[in-house]
Amino acid sequence: MREDTYKKILSDLEAEADIEGSCIVSRDGILIYSSMKDIHAEAFAAMLATLLSSAEVAMDEIKAGVPKKVVVDGKNRKIVVIGAGANALLASVTHRGADDVYEAMKAAARKIDKTLCEKK
């Protein structure tokens, strides 16, 4: 079952990179899976997709290619959003720096993309 696979990918990521919670979201903003607590996950998913999409359009406008990551740097936490293949994105909330979690998120994003591409 894919849900079990997503749960394992996110729990491994969170343990490895000191991440508070993560979401897997389709590129059009539909929540695929979330480990986040105490949030409205569906609305959050839509906002994350808009955030990454807007960053991609802005980077394209200046001919700078696809962004590696989008970071929202808040007072106490950061949201880091990266692509997870052509159909999804991965977003994580952390207290650490974006560069500290980026490599672990890339590895998780590859696993997510592979899982999404597998036939049912």
pLDDT < 70 stretches in the chain: 119-120
3-class DSSP assignment, residue 53: helix
Strand ranges (E), 1-120: 19-26, 31-34, 70-73, 78-83, 88-94
Concatenate the DSSP letters of all residues of 43-70 into one string.
Answer: HHHHHHHHHHHHHHHHHHHTT--S-S-E
Q: In this structure, what token pair is assigned to residue 53?
A: 């999409």
pLDDT of res. 118: 86
Domain 2-117 classification at class level: alpha beta
Domain ranges for the chain: 2-117
CB atoms within 10 A of CB 60: 12
Percentage of the chain modeled with pLDDT above 90: 92
pLDDT in tens, 15-43: 999 899 999 999 999 999 999 999 999 99
Residue 103's nearest CA partner among 82, 75, 74 is 82
